[in-house]
Structures are given as C-alpha cells and as structure tokens.
Amino acid sequence: MSKYIPASQEEKDFLASYDPAKFAPVAVTVDVVLLTIRDGQLCVLLVRRGGYPYKGRWALPGGFLSSREDAETSAWRELAEETGIERGDAHLEQLGTYTAPDRDPRTRVVSIAYLALLPDVAAPTAGDDAADAEFFPVANLRSAKLAFDHDQIIKDGLERAASKLEYTPLATAFCGPVFTISDLRRVYETVWQNDLDPANFRRKVLSVPGFVQPAAAATRRGGPGAPAAVYVPGTAALLHPPLLRPSLRAKLKDTP
C-alpha cells in the first residue's frame, strides 16, 4: 500500500484529533498451527501455558499482534521464538480468524490463525511465555483438552492441509530440500490417512507439470530396496490436474 495522503486541511485535522479509545477494546492475537511429520505421524506443535487463563493447558504457540507488525510477520516471529526457523524456511499461510465473543475470558480477543508446514528438523524451544513446547501426534489429540478454541483451529488446519495437498505442490513443504518420490508419497499417506499405490503415485507426480524436478544429486539409499532418485520442488503453484483424495471419492460415491 502506498502512503495515505490527506486530501484537505479538514481531513488532516480529523486524523490528528482521532481518538482510537472510543471503540470497545479488542485485543488481537496471532496463533500458529505448525504441522510436521515425525516418525510417520502428523504432529502439531503445542506449548504449555505458563499464565492465566488456561494455566497449565496445552495451546497453540502465539502472542499478541505487535503494534508495527502485520500478522504474517508476527507469525514468523512466533515461529522463530518456538523453533528457531527463519522467515522462508517453512510454508506459512493465513488459516482464518476466530472471533467468538467469549473465546477468551479476559477480554474480547480476536485470533488470526496461521498454518505452517515444515520438514521434521527443528527441535522446539520454549519461549518466554511457555513453560514447555512439544510436538503431539494429531491422532492422539481427540481427548486432549486444549486452551481456548485451539482444538477447532487445529481441526481447521488439518482440513486445510489435506485439501491443499490435492491441488498445490505443498506436500514438498513437509520434505527436506531434496526428497524421493516415496518420501512425497508418505507425506500424502500420512496427511490423507490413505494408502496410495506407489506405481500410480509416481506416474501421477511425474506427469503433473511443475510438481517436482530431478535433483542434481544422484540417488539415495536407506534401508532395504533399490536406491531412489531424488527430486527438488518444481515451479508450479497449482497442480493441474489435481491429485484427488481417495477417501472423498469413496464417501461421495456412496451418497448420490
């Protein structure tokens, strides 16, 4: 945005005398749903709350929007504080804004949630406000009583991630800088909770323009099996045609 220039002296006076306090106070926080894959399980980063309210409960990492930052910058700052990753080391996108009037017992708090995806590398480090930080498999979260409405935010983040794997090359955000087709397939299988045919998956991925491209490095060996060719992310922002979740196909065919 270009800088705003008042059109008249009258407007200048208006802006100079403007009093923000006349509106009901609203606090704005930025919370981050950080997803990664560890040991074949989709995990979310949670921190234990050190202060009231919900003291001692697990919650999403986050904090108040600081006065001269936009929300995305705040989200990157939270990520850096909790995990040490720098801006650009992960995928980060806005997830949604949560505004239920009673979602925070202190005062009216509106939370802008972000979704971050990153490879399994960074070890979480507890920030100022958090007594502890830990990755939890999302499958075990059903019974956990999280702070605020963070269970709903995580649920929305998981659905967003699963959906975006269909029509964007975002799955590469869960992999390291180079990866094999099998690495990529395991990401899909983990997020979608579906087994995929290795042969068909390979053919599909390689046929979508701009999804992946062969890496300069030769091959990678690990465990049993032939050595695998390695790839790096391609340039496409959208996958066309998309990969479609088998689970949805089955569900929707049943209810015509």
Partner DNA sequence: ACAATAGTGTCTATGAGACATTATTGC
Partner DNA sequence: GCAATAATGTCTCATAGACACTATTGT
Ramachandran area for residue 199 (φ above 0: left; ψ -120 to 50: alpha; else beta): alpha
The listed partner (its own copies, DNA, none) that binds 214, CB under 5 to 8 Å by sort, is none
CA neighbor of 154 nearest in space, from 44, 25, 16:
44
Smallest gap from residue 163 Cβ to DNA (A): 16
Q: Does 128 bind its own copies (CB under 8 A)?
A: no
Alpha carbons 184 and 103: distance in angstroms, whole number: 37
**What is the Rg, in whole angstroms, of the alpha carbon atoms belonging to the chain?**
22
Q: Does 196 bind its own copies (CB under 8 A)?
A: no
Q: Which is nearer to its own copies, 38 or 240 (CB)?
A: 240
Question: Could you tell me how many residues of this chain bind DNA (CB under 7 A)?
Answer: 25
Helix (H) or strand (E) holding 252: helix 246-254
What phi, psi does 199 have (nearest 5°)? -65, -50
Contact between 62 and 33 under an 8 Å Cβ cutoff? The reply is: no
Q: Which stretch binds DNA (CB under 7 A): 32-40, 104-112, 114-122, 244-252?
A: 244-252
Length of the chain in terms of residues written: 256
Residue of 226, 235, 252, 254 that binds DNA (CB under 7 A) = 226
Sheet holding 179-180, edge to edge: 179-180, 228-233, 212-220
Smallest gap from residue 205 Cβ to DNA (A): 9
Written as six digits, the tokens of 163 are: 């959906």
Q: Does 84 bind DNA (CB under 7 A)?
A: no
Q: Which is nearer to DNA, 36 or 180 (CB)?
A: 180
The listed partner (its own copies, DNA, none) that binds 246, CB under 5 to 8 Å by sort, is DNA
Residue of 14, 139, 198, 238 that binds DNA (CB under 7 A) = 198
Contact between 32 and 81 under an 8 Å Cβ cutoff? The reply is: no
Q: Does 217 bind DNA (CB under 7 A)?
A: no
Q: Does 199 bind DNA (CB under 7 A)?
A: yes
Q: Does 255 bind its own copies (CB under 8 A)?
A: yes
CA neighbor of 170 nearest in space, from 159, 180, 158, 161:
161
Alpha carbons 150 and 144: distance in angstroms, whole number: 11
Residues interacting with its own copies, by CB under 8 A? 1, 3-4, 6-7, 10-11, 14-15, 18, 20-21, 23-28, 52-53, 55, 64-72, 94, 96-97, 99-103, 105-108, 110, 112, 149, 167, 209-210, 235-236, 238, 240-242, 244, 248-249, 252-253, 255-256
Question: Which stretches of the chain bind DNA, using CB under 7 A?
Answer: 180-182, 197-200, 202-204, 207, 219, 221, 223-229, 241, 243-244, 246, 249
